[in-house]
Amino acid sequence: MKGGMDPEKGFVGPFHAFDAAQATAYLTLYEEAFGPASDASNLTDKRFQSHLYLPFVVAIMSTEAILKQVRAVLGPDLLVWFTEWHVKRPASSSKYTPHQDSTYAGLVPAEDVVTVWVALTEATRTNGCLEFVPMTEYHGEQLPHVEDPGDSANLLLRGQRIASEHLDFTAKAVPVELRPGEATIHAFRCVHASGPNRSDASPRVGLAIRYMKPSVRQTQGGRREGAMLVSGQDDFGHFDLQPLPSEAWDRGGLALHAREMEVMRVNYMESRRKEEG
């Protein structure tokens, strides 16, 4: 890591992305698209890659204050590879177990990919804020993960987690609370997690955005993927450049979303099963 992130730490935050009024406006747009933040059950696969059909998501990931932080780490040329809504309703057992974003992604080099997490509501220890483990605790290495797809409370697709014998997450984790409009940025191999929402009334809504250098390559699966250029230029062509959505829920954006979901299924779910078989 260079520039704006300490390589020994592997994460930065909180930092100011936009003001609270703008966060509230974005939250209103989120609820218009997906329903009340107090009920995350209607997200389904639409929680992934919503920048393909919702212009306000593109506006969030193109926010200059966010891009400034990412450019300080990765340089001027940036692609967005993935977006995902992370929503926990009040009094929810939903959680993200300790993991590294790099585990199943197939993107190399992992050092040239980061995740930004943007809060549209408060993210506190009570409602399940992000917690990070400094990368010095495991030398920034890719750690083994185990899977428990039967854990219905785990919001990770494969129920993956880092086993306690490889890292004592509870002893090492650093919680980072966020106000609406604040964000964090972390390295692709930075171990992180978030617990359940123990609040009776406060939903937790955040958007995870994965940025990468255009030089990054996909090394797994058989399907070519797309990415959206948000800064500088792409001189490599490793990914199909995705168009900006013209309006919310436009037909072209939804068709592209359906294609990318199919690519994700083939590249990340089926290819993993073949490796295991």
Model confidence band, residue 264 (pLDDT cutoffs 50, 70, 90): confident
DSSP structure class, residue 243: P
Kindly report the pTM of this predicted structure.
0.94
Least confident of 10-14, 15-19, 147-151, 158-162: 147-151
Q: What percent of the chain has pLDDT over 90?
A: 80
Model confidence band, residue 272 (pLDDT cutoffs 50, 70, 90): low
CATH superfamily name and code, 11-276 = q2cbj1_9rhob like domain (2.60.120.620)
Region of residue 147 (phi > 0: left; psi between -120 and 50: alpha; otherwise: beta): beta
Q: What percent of the chain has pLDDT over 70?
A: 95
Give tens-digit pLDDT for 11-67. Answer: 999 999 999 999 999 999 999 999 999 887 667 888 999 999 999 999 999 999 999
Q: How far apart are CA 189 and CA 99, in angstroms?
A: 9
Domain coordinates of the chain in residue numbers? Answer: 11-276
Q: How far apart are CA 5 and CA 100, in angstroms?
A: 17
- Of 106, 116, 121, nearest to 230 (Cα)? 116
Q: Which residue has the higher pLDDT, 194 or 163?
A: 194
Give tens-digit pLDDT for 88-139. Answer: 999 999 899 999 999 989 999 999 999 999 999 999 999 999 999 999 999 9
